[in-house]
Every structure is written in structure tokens, then in C-alpha cells.
Amino acid sequence: MREVAIIGAGLTKFGELWDKSFRDLFVEAGLKAIENAGVDHLDSMYVGTMSGGLFVGQEHIGSLMADYLGQTPIPATRVESACASSGVAFRMAFIEVASGLNDIVLAGGVEKMNDGADVTYALSTAADQEYEVYQGVTFPGLYAMIARAHMHHYGTTREQLAKVAVKNHYNGKRNPNAQFQMEVTVDQVLNSSMVADPLRLLDCSPVSDGASAVVLCPLDVAKKFTDTPVKVIGTGQASDSVALHSRDDLTYLAAVARSAEQAYKMAGVKPGDINVAEVHDCFTIAEICAMEALGFVERGQGGKAVDEGFNALDGKIPINTSGGLKSKGHPVGATGTAQIIEIFEQLCGTAGERQVKNARIGLAQNMGGSGGSSVVHIMEAVQ
């Protein structure tokens, strides 16, 4: 395989973007990535979208976005893996460049969730329709079950969940593209509206519009385009049962653990070598479970680690410096490459007020549904 680098990135603001269409958002992010990379063409592109058909009535998304990005007749492929769609799109782009099939490949994602769709129904299609959705369970309910199990088995507290939200909003306030650029307190989280016990409104990621994109190329030519390429040194992908009832342990994200093992092995690094990470905090409990599955802390110790500031901006492994899905926003199809952009910026030293000192190796973990799919990427700054 050839070594692969990220040479450019583009991101829209996340939020309720009423004045921009589905295609407008992707074109904005894609053009920014192309300009940032300094390339004059693309050989191929991958677009992650969870449910364009339900949210905006649009399918055939690869062709649509290639057209409006001005890139036809290149091959353009839509990728779907629920909320992990653009993380998997990035993996597909990486494989294409690494294999030698093409040299300049764009990977991105987009979702327009606020244009009148039944968001709860659209998101529920990523759960098990017969055994979960038919019974009336939504994703807040599924993650509430995970949270209750974690609290029961390991003594995780309501306050520890709240501290995840507090930390991520602190970071999000320092991200100009975040949907919620505001800090919150533990008391505000604990007193926000109940959604699914024990999860409250401020434990939940918002409904968001947005797009993100990156450009990849072989490492040996990356310096032609940028002085700060970021090398992709590891990738892993795994799946688990979609339904929670089929899992041995509700508190353990097995697909996350497996995808991380693959990525660590390929990269030749250990969890303790990671300097900064973006993880899939669709709900506050998800960040705690992801920390454990990624091997950052022992199983059951995620809540205690939050108390100790392990995942804070100045902690041992800063997590979700972007604000995470919780504060930055979660336009589901765009989230995976948005996480990668945060790591790209951290490793380039361009993350502004949220910059982690001496960040050399970063990890992005993107998850679909309640953990039915997971993809992990590890990146390294090029010296």
C-alpha cells in the first residue's frame, strides 16, 4: 500500500441553516477543501449521507454532488453507515489512494435535518425496526438503557454524565463552526428537561445541518500541495448487532473496540500514544463508553476519569476539542469527516483557542446507531 496524507479540509458552520440547501452545504465544504488542498482536479469522491431520501427526498447523491461541485464525470459514490457514513466514506477514499487506483480523492459528508422531515423517524431507521422501533424505542431511549446499565454495574453518576456536556460545551464555545458556542454548568445539565431517564436535554446532541470534506493524496506527493500534510497511519472498521438486546454487555461498545484494535495495529501505536481524540458523543454516556472501548481507560472507569479531568482540554488525552457532537452539532452524515477535520487542524497546529500542545498523533472514532457500526482513524503530523 502507498502511504496516504490529508492535504486539505473544508467545513461549513453547523446548525439550523435555513438559507442553504442540501447541495449548497456539500458544495461549500467541498470547494473549501479543494481550495485548501490547492489541487486543480479530483480523480474520485465519496459522499457520506445517512438518509438524504428521508430528510430532503433526495437520493442519487454521489452524482448530484459531483455535478454541483463541478467534478463530473469522475466516479462519485454515496456511502451510508448511519451516523458513521462519512467516517466510512473517508475509509473508502483512503483505501482508493493507498491501493494506487487514484491519486486525488475527496471524502466528505452532508446532512440537512431541519427542512421539515420527521427527524425522529428518519434517525430511527438506524435502529432495529422490528425489535426496537416497533416497540416505540428511540435513540435517546436506547442510550438511556446503556447509561442505566453503566450506572448499575460501575457506579457511574448523573453528575459524571453532566461533566461530559460541560467539558464539550467549554470546547465548543471556542469553535467558530459549532452550533452551540456557549458554556453550560453541571446544574444546568442536571436541571434541563428530561428526555429519557437518566438522559436530559443537555446530555443529547442536537439536530443539525452541515457538511464537511477532506482531500487525500499519496504522501510522497503531498508536499507539492501543502507544507503541513497529515499522514493517515491507521484505519479500522467493525460492526455489531444493531439491536441492544443481542449484545452480551450493554455497557461495552464491541464494534468500537474492534475497529480501534485494527487501527492501533496498523498504526503501530497504543492508546496511550494518542495526544488528542474526537469520539462519537451523540449522548454523554457515549463518550464515556467510547473512552473505555478505545482503551483510554479501563472498563467501568470512564466516569471516574471524567471526574479527574482525563478528557479535558488540558487532560491526559483531550477528547472532543471541537465541542464534539454535543456542542459542535451532529448533522449525521457529516459528522465523521468533521471529526477528522478537527484532528487534522490539531495536528497542523491551527485549532486556535482549543489547540492541544505538542499534538502529534490523533484519533477519530465515528459510530453508527447505538454502536452497530464503528470506524476509527489514526493520524500523525508529518515532521
Residue 71, pLDDT score: 97
Q: Which residues, in sequence order, are CB contacts of 246 under 8 Å at separation 6+? A: none
Residue 148 C-alpha cell reads as 442505566
Residue 102 C-alpha cell reads as 487514484
The helix/strand/coil state of 308 is coil
Q: Among residues 163, 194, 222, which one ends one of the domains?
A: 222
116, pLDDT greater than 90: no
Instruction: Based on the fold, state whether residues 100 and 128 are members of the same structural domain.
Output: no
Residue 113 C-alpha cell reads as 435535518
Radius of gyration of the chain (CA): 19
What does the mean pLDDT of the chain come to? Answer: 97
Within 120-239, strands assigned E span 194-196, 199-200, 209-218, 230-239
Instruction: Based on the fold, state whether residues 95 and 80 are members of the same structural domain.
Output: yes
Model confidence over 18-53: pLDDT tens digits? Answer: 999 999 999 999 999 999 999 999 999 999 999 999
Residue 382, pLDDT score: 94
In the beta sheet, which residues pair with residue 218? 4
How far is residue 90's CA from residue 68's CA, in Å, rounded to a whole number?
20
Backbone angles phi, psi at 340, to 5 degrees: -65, -35
How far is residue 111's CA from residue 49's CA, in Å, rounded to a whole number?
6
Q: Which residues are catalytic?
A: 83, 330
167, pLDDT greater than 80: yes
Instruction: Based on the fold, state whether residues 319 and 181 are members of the same structural domain.
Output: yes
What one-letter code names the amino acid at 102? Answer: N
The answer, yes or no, to whether the previous bond of 206 is cis (omega within 30 of 0) is no
Instruction: Based on the fold, state whether residues 353 and 364 are members of the same structural domain.
Output: yes
Neighbours of 134 (CB within 10 A): 11
DSSP 8-class letter at 283: B
Instruction: Based on the fold, state whether residues 187 and 72 are members of the same structural domain.
Output: no
Q: Do residues 340 and 214 touch, judged by C-beta distance below 8 A?
A: yes
How far is residue 107's CA from residue 47's CA, in Å, rounded to a whole number?
6
How far is residue 354's CA from residue 315's CA, in Å, rounded to a whole number?
12
Residue 139, pLDDT score: 97
Range of the domain at 130: 121-202+231-381
Instruction: Based on the fold, state whether residues 126 and 113 are members of the same structural domain.
Output: no
How far is residue 120's CA from residue 348's CA, in Å, rounded to a whole number?
37
Instruction: Based on the fold, state whether residues 197 and 344 are members of the same structural domain.
Output: yes
The helix/strand/coil state of 219 is helix
Mean pLDDT throughout 310-318?
98
Backbone angles phi, psi at 194, to 5 degrees: -70, 135
Model confidence over 241-300: pLDDT tens digits? Answer: 999 999 999 999 999 999 999 999 999 999 999 999 999 999 999 999 999 999 999 999
Neighbours of 264 (CB within 10 A): 21
110, pLDDT greater than 80: yes
Residue 383, pLDDT score: 77
Residue 65, pLDDT score: 98
Q: Which residues, in sequence order, are CB contacts of 57 under 8 Å at separation 6+? A: none
Instruction: Report the CATH number at residue 9.
Output: 3.40.47.10
Instruction: Based on the fold, state whether residues 52 and 133 are members of the same structural domain.
Output: no
Model confidence over 74-90: pLDDT tens digits? Answer: 999 999 999 999 999 99
pLDDT band at residue 117 using 50, 70 and 90 as cut-offs = confident
Neighbours of 282 (CB within 10 A): 25
Model confidence over 172-216: pLDDT tens digits? Answer: 999 999 999 999 999 999 999 999 999 999 999 999 999 999 999
Instruction: Based on the fold, state whether residues 79 and 134 are members of the same structural domain.
Output: no
Instruction: Based on the fold, state whether residues 49 and 159 are members of the same structural domain.
Output: no
Question: Cα dihedral sign for 167, 170, 171, 175?
Answer: positive
Instruction: Based on the fold, state whether residues 151 and 165 are members of the same structural domain.
Output: yes
Number of domains in the chain: 2
User: In the chain, what percentage of residues exceed pLDDT 70?
Assistant: 100
How far is residue 330's CA from residue 338's CA, in Å, rounded to a whole number?
9
Report field, pTM of the whole predicted structure over 0.85: yes
How far is residue 108's CA from residue 70's CA, in Å, rounded to a whole number?
15
Residue 120 C-alpha cell reads as 425522529
84 alpha-carbon distance from chain centroid: 7
Instruction: Based on the fold, state whether residues 268 and 159 are members of the same structural domain.
Output: yes
Residue 304, pLDDT score: 98
Model confidence over 4-21: pLDDT tens digits? Answer: 999 999 999 999 999 999
Residue 96 C-alpha cell reads as 482508493
